[in-house]
Amino acid sequence: MGKTCFVRGLAKGLGLKDQISSPTFAIVNEYRGKIPLYHFDMYRIETLGDLYSTGFFDYLDQGGICAIEWSENIAQALPKQAITVSFSQGGTENQRIIEIAGDERF
């Protein structure tokens, strides 16, 4: 659907030079820069115990950006001010409709 592609653009915007790859197997990939980027895939995370052992709560305190794929799996643990980015198929194969919803920053 283009989630990792979107994060690649986010990283570029942050001035990060690293190659961005899908965090599906590692669950989280870290990219260090002036503003660090933490890229999560919560596909296999189901419980609070699972989430704790990813170090998720530690990352929240580190002043970086957490890009979270499959965030619906941890809906109850997301911070209140989280910004939601939704993707859906556009009219042609390479088109995507991206909706961004969040607090007063948007």
Partner 1 sequence: MKFLGIDTSAKAASAAVVSDGKLLGEVFVNVGKTHSQTVLPIIQDTLRFSGVSLEELDYLAVSNGPGSFTGLRIGLAAVKGLAYPQNKRCIPVSTLEALAYNLKGFKGILCPVMDARCNQVYTALFESDGREIRRLTGDAGISLEDLDNLLKKYSGEIFLVGDGAELCYNELGWKLNCALTPAHLLYQRGSGVCYAAASKTADAVECGLLVPEYLRLPQAERELKKKTK
Q: Minimal distance in Å, beta carbon 59 to partner 1?
A: 8
Nearer to partner 1, 11 or 64 (CB): 64
Interacting residues with partner 1 (CB under 8 A): 45-49, 51-55, 57-58, 61-63, 72-77
Nearer to partner 1, 53 or 95 (CB): 53
Contact yes or no for 62/30 (Cβ under 8 A): no
Q: Minimal distance in Å, beta carbon 74 to partner 1?
A: 4
Q: What is the DSSP string of 74-86?
A: GGGGS-TTPPEEE
Nearer to partner 1, 47 or 89 (CB): 47
User: What's the rounded Cα separation, in Å, for the pair 74 and 86?
Assistant: 16
Listed residue (25, 3, 29, 2) closest to 16, CA to CA: 29
Q: Minimal distance in Å, beta carbon 91 to partner 1?
A: 29
Say which residue the tokens 């895939």 belong to.
41
